[in-house]
């Protein structure tokens, strides 16, 4: 699956609201961040707490250009929690942490502008 990160690209094909609801996007708090030197593209290994209903999930995130490892724990992020786990090198990523490319193409994490309960779902 190729995703276009280009800000000048047009909108994706139209979908209906039921299709949107199939994508389960939740807020979680990063509880652990580790380097991932074996990754093909520079990345960090994250453990994200999505609250009691979903729990702590693992994610590989290509965010090394804009984030210091020690600044990540405690930060809330948004992630898709209902994709099947995906093998990223030797690491099994359980959720897709969401971000946007900045003007230089580096990933900026997507997060609420105020704290919300872990596990809150986007609607």
CATH number where 79 lies: 2.40.50.140
> Does a structural domain hold residue 51?
yes
The pLDDT tens digits of the residues spanning 91-120 come to 999 999 999 999 999 999 999 999 999 999
On the question of pLDDT at 3 being above 60, the answer is no
Cα–Cα distance between 20 and 28 in angstroms, integer?
A: 20
Q: Are 84 and 73 in contact (CB under 8 A)?
A: no
> Does a structural domain hold residue 84?
yes
On the question of pLDDT at 88 being above 50, the answer is yes
> Does a structural domain hold residue 117?
no
Cα–Cα distance between 42 and 123 in angstroms, integer?
A: 31
**If pLDDT is split at 50, 70 and 90, which confidence band does 31 have?**
very high
Q: Are 47 and 72 in contact (CB under 8 A)?
A: no
The pLDDT tens digits of the residues spanning 42-53 come to 999 999 999 999
5-27 in b/e form (b: 16+ CB < 10 A) is eeeeeeeeeeeeeeeeeeeebbb
């Amino acid at each position: 699956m190729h995703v276009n990160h280009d800000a000048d690209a047009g909108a994706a094909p139209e979908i209906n609201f039921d299709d949107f609801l199939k994508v389960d996007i939740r807020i979680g708090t990063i509880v652990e961040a580790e380097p991932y030197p074996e990754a093909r593209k520079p990345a960090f290994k994250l453990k994200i707490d999505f609250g009691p209903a979903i729990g702590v999930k693992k994610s590989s995130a290509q965010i090394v250009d804009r984030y210091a490892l020690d600044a990540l724990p405690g930060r809330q992020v948004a992630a898709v929690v209902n994709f099947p786990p995906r093998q990223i090198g030797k690491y099994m990523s359980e959720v897709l942490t969401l971000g946007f490319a900045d003007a230089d193409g580096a990933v900026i994490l997507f997060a609420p502008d105020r704290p919300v309960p872990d596990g809150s779902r986007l609607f």
